[in-house]
Structure 1
Amino acid sequence: MNRGRPRIFNPEYVLESAMQLFWRKGYEATSLQDLLQATGLSKSSLYDSFGNKQRLFEAAFTRYFDMRAVLMREELGRAASPLAFIRNCLNSVLEDVAPGHGPRGCMLVNVANEFSTNDPSVEKLIFLATRRFREVFVEAFEQAKISGELSQSKDPASLALFMHCAMSGLRTQVKSGIARKEILTVIEIIMANF
């Protein structure tokens, strides 16, 4: 029995390409043809490997938050101090631009806005992504307490929630075109709360 040609493609490349495309355009606006062009897959390879567009999206979104959480932990380890890491995270909202396309916003926020609570499988991924990012912020604020940068009366979990909400809001404002100077002013106000 002939099983056809073996799948020959780089899964990391495919997921990265799909992630970048979904991040830039969103789920609904990304067509199957867009995905085939971005990933280099044939239609049959895409369906054989991922099942359908939504499963590919879920794999690409998972890649986004898994990789982002790892990078954040690495950045925390390299930062001059825990609060320097927090400031760097806030400042990073000004740097997240897709080449030739302008600000993308946060993929997590984009996905949450697009899907809301309409899809249970995506809702679970949104919850998982949110938890992963907040865990890194909690770790940073705990380290800040230990190092004396942060008052012992401050609750790292509450600050992590505040930080997550602040980052989401800032990314949305950058995406909407608010001036860099205004974002930097807001970042100073946020930092004054730590």
Structure 2
Amino acid sequence: MDFCAIDFETATHERNSACEMGICVVENGVIVKTQTWLIKPPSFPYFHPRNIDVHGITPKEVQNAPTFEEIWHEAENLMYGNLMIAHNAGFDAGVLRSCLDYYGFFKPKINYLCSISLAKKSWKDLPKYGLKSLAEQHNIQFNHHRAGADAEVCAKISLLAFERLMLTRNEEVSEVMKKNLKIL
């Protein structure tokens, strides 16, 4: 099983305002790397107070950070050829698309899957399917709303879900989750 889990935090309601990106790379069913970047968003120095309340990232923390444009090639290399998984994938895929559009990058053809739909298929009767709830359900500790930590927990939950569904190869995921797979 090979995939990458991805997560973004944003500075404002604008989808292109990524202020942190996390990618967790899984190869042969094992987490091999988690990378996190603080990002100076186009809105800098403006951050909406509500966004700061969620993730705790302030303009001061990103004032000397690279822009998305400066980190994209490194991030893309980690994602290359992989299935992308995100918790609430519509949001994260939207942020990625908006950042790529803003900086004029070509959008790679990446299949992505939402770990919420994967969790609902794996554990049918849970009261909640938020990342924090699923992590608590599986006794996984993490620093919620920080991109690298969220991406890694998304990867861990996805691996547990694949195990529960007895999926061991990407082709099996494509078959079982085909209604839920989308293209970036």
TM-score bracket for this pair, using the shorter chain length: under 0.3
TM-score, normalisation: structure 2: 0.25
Report which of the two has the higher share of helix: 1
Compare relative contact order (CA 8 Å, sep 6+) and give the higher one, 1 or 2.
2
Report which of the two has the higher share of strand: 2
TM-score, normalisation: structure 1: 0.24
